[in-house]
Amino acid sequence: MNNILFPVLSILSDGKFHSGEKMSGQLNVSRSSVWVAVENAGQIGVKIFSVRGKGYKLTHPIQLLDKNKIKLSLGEISSRVNIQVLDVVNSTNSYLLKESAKNIPHASCIAANIQTHGKGRRGRHWQSALGESLTFSYLWRFNLGPASLSGLSLTIGIALIRSLKTIGINDALVKWPNDILIFNDNSYKKIAGILIELQGDSVGQSAAIIGVGINLNLSKNQLNKIDQPAIDINQCLGNEVNPNEFLGILLNNLTEVLSIFQDTQFSSFKDEWISYHAYQDKPVKLILGNNEVVEGRVSNISPEGSLVIQTDKGERSFTSGEISIKEFI
């Protein structure tokens, strides 16, 4: 990637016009380097307008992720969390999966301004464009084998709901196992998703790469690319959230729930999780990996995080599957 591009974007982040000449002076590079950077922006999905006599401009102001600002928002836990901000990466999860073997410390967060190949669950793509989505992965090493981590993704949902409450979004709900939804305009819309990838041996050590994507301010273009109803923080709050401050809030909540999870796993969080569950006691349809369809009413969540459905044939428990509410089918 062009190494002038992000310094240029940083100048343009105020959403105002900046002349190529002035930027080249600010960055101490040639005007043609600025021009090449602007030309390259399109390759990573960033639109920069140019108007003769005025210069260059983004469609609207953006707040880039900044390690120092995130650290400030982390407050007390700042010395215990390792932060790295990448300008552009294929996927923060893939980056950590590759790098964690090289001794990346426990409690490391990799956040990206742009992900080019963000991964969703079940092989889906997580759509993210500059400033439209907060994307990061948190590496947490457990003294637990992967088999003990079954309720981890549900627990992460709790940290997300608590963080949304802190910024004033009090009506966020969880959809099993770990989507975060908002009920808006008569339907459930997704505001955030979680993708956990595990590395570890069966004996008693594992590393979880906890990937989180949260919609901040989706453009029409991005909304059209998302294959399910979606909503963003801007729409919920009526104003923007500062992504650096919000990431600090998220990492505080994640660190807190993960520390408790190490000792008690999901059992400490079960009641709180059920209180946020969008489909609790509701009629649902669950599509299993083998395409079997199970219909029934959600009756419980097990202490390990399995979904319990009351079916015609009695209660059945599931560890995976794609759930939808029957009223909205």
CB of 124 or CB of 297, closer to ligand BTN: 124
CB of 31 or CB of 99, closer to ligand BTN: 99
CB of 95 or CB of 266, closer to ligand BTN: 95
Shortest separation between residue 210's beta carbon and ligand BTN, angstroms: 8
CB of 104 or CB of 194, closer to ligand BTN: 194
Token pair for 112: 């990206």
CB of 137 or CB of 217, closer to ligand BTN: 137
Shortest separation between residue 196's beta carbon and ligand BTN, angstroms: 9
CA-to-CA distance for 85 and 105, rounded, in angstroms?
Answer: 15
Backbone angles phi, psi at 328, to 5 degrees: -110, 10
CA-to-CA distance for 21 and 50, rounded, in angstroms?
Answer: 13
Binding residues for ligand BTN, rule: CB under 6 A, are 91-93, 115, 118-121, 124, 126, 135-137, 179, 193-195, 211-213
Helix and strand totals (H; E) in the chain: 10, 14
Q: What is the DSSP letter of 78?
A: G
CA-to-CA distance for 297 and 302, rounded, in angstroms?
Answer: 15
Shortest separation between residue 289's beta carbon and ligand BTN, angstroms: 16
User: 283 forms bridges with which residues in the sheet?
Assistant: 297
Shortest separation between residue 267's beta carbon and ligand BTN, angstroms: 24
CA angle (287 as vertex; 285, 288 as ends), nearest 5 = 135
CB of 46 or CB of 179, closer to ligand BTN: 179
- Residue 248 to residues 184, 219, 224: CA-CA distances in angstroms? 27, 24, 30
Backbone angles phi, psi at 166, to 5 degrees: -60, -35
| DSSP strand pairing (314-318 vs 206-215) | unpaired
Q: Is 99 left (phi over 0), alpha (psi -120 to 50) or beta?
A: alpha
Shortest separation between residue 16's beta carbon and ligand BTN, angstroms: 29
CB of 63 or CB of 93, closer to ligand BTN: 93
| Cβ–Cβ < 8 Å for 12, 48 | yes
CA-to-CA distance for 167 and 93, rounded, in angstroms?
Answer: 25
Shortest separation between residue 314's beta carbon and ligand BTN, angstroms: 31
Shortest separation between residue 94's beta carbon and ligand BTN, angstroms: 6
Q: Determine the residue with CB nearest ligand BTN.
A: 193
